[in-house]
Amino acid sequence: MGILLFVGAAIGSWYIIKTPQSIVSPIGKILEKPLEKYTIDRLSQRQFAGSQIALEEAVATTGAYTVWRFSFTSDAKRVTGLAHLPAGRQVFPASDSGNQRIKQHPVIVQFRGYVDREKYAPGEGTKRSAEVYARNGFISLAPDFLGYGASASPSADIFEERFETYTTALNLLASIKTLTIADPDRIGIWGHSNGGQIALTILEVTKKPYPATLWAPVSKPFPYSILYYTDEASDRGKLIRKRLAKFEEDYDVELYSLPNYLNRITAPLQIHQGSADEPVPQKWSDELVKILKEKEKDVSYYTYASADHNMVGSWNTVVSRDIEFFRKYLK
């Protein structure tokens, strides 16, 4: 749910003067600061071509679906994940050319919340819901993200590591067209906690109408959305506050903050929130929905008395509503 708390410094091919983000080329030309490419505006201007999704190993099979480990490339880095593919790869003859075509399924891309690396296993935070989606005919693609599973390492810069979750998500969405049984015209998004923050940012960046269901999304402004969780760090957030102070010297944090770009969202949204959620207080989602409705966005909002951050107590109801939602918009 919070930021990934890792430290380090990214070193490029240019030499650095004055600050880690003030860059001058060998011929004296001032270049952009290295993390400016991750502002929501700049990400919106970029074209993501994606890469081939490789199904590498089947790890489980039922009568309804098969679970595969998969991989793709995001900005030259390997990213792994877990795919749940519905059973019944039916083949139909094409009436015009006689060529055969494979039945394509709608896709739900799932972005999990924060998990400690030491405790992480592929499918953590997404596997249970993915099983339900697959049984109902939806493909689930859940990336591990950089530094998790068998993925490549993320940036050593703690803020770039956070922003790389966006480029990973965007590259995965662009790669879906390479998966034969996936319908690239029927893609939905699921996000939980920090994964909800990623989902909202992706909807702002792409401006595409991917129907999205969000479970207790982190929706507060950057960097408060990070600082809120710093008491979970072993140093109570001392290091990250120091790095953040430096970041704010060199960058305008408003350009990275999702609440400033909610007007760009064109997708229908379904938001679920438990009243007993401690990591993401209900008032956050209340405020988010209020703003979205003021902006005349298509949003449905459900609250669940006594449900916690993982929807325990109302989980079956939440998933059933998701199935109904995705069937409506990905039919």
Specify the residue for token string 């970041």: 247
Q: Based on the structure, what is the number of domains in the chain?
A: 1
Cβ atoms of 243 and 159 within 8 Å: the answer is yes
pLDDT surpassing 50 at residue 145: yes
In a domain, 28, yes or no: no
In a domain, 12, yes or no: no
pLDDT at 80: 98
In a domain, 221, yes or no: yes
Using CA atoms, how far apart are residues 290 and 234, in angstroms rounded to an integer?
A: 35
Cβ atoms of 189 and 121 within 8 Å: the answer is no
Please state, for a pLDDT cut of 70, what percent of the chain lies above it.
87
| pLDDT tens digits for range 28-81 | 556 789 999 999 999 999 999 999 999 999 999 999 999 999 999 999 999 999
Instruction: State the SS3 of 69-92.
Output: EEEEEECCEEEEEEEEEECCCCEE
In a domain, 270, yes or no: yes
What is the span of the domain harbouring residue 304? 37-329
Token pair, residue 313, equals: 């107590």
Q: Using CB atoms within 10 A of its CB, is residue 261 exposed (0-12), middle (13-18) or buried (19+)?
A: buried
Token pair, residue 251, equals: 């960058």
Q: 235 falls in which pLDDT band (50, 70, 90)?
A: confident
In a domain, 120, yes or no: yes
CATH number at residue 123: 3.40.50.1820
In a domain, 290, yes or no: yes
| pLDDT tens digits for range 149-199 | 999 999 999 999 999 999 999 999 999 999 999 999 999 999 999 999 999
pTM: 0.88
| pLDDT tens digits for range 243-281 | 999 999 999 999 999 999 999 999 999 999 999 999 999
pLDDT at 9: 28
The sign of the dihedral angle between the CA atoms of 122, 83, 85, 322 is positive
In a domain, 25, yes or no: no
Q: pLDDT: is 75 or 96 the higher one?
A: 75
How distant, in Å, are the alpha carbons of 174, 292, 325 from that of 179?
11, 33, 23
In a domain, 306, yes or no: yes
Cβ atoms of 274 and 313 within 8 Å: the answer is yes
Tell me the average pLDDT of the chain. Answer: 89
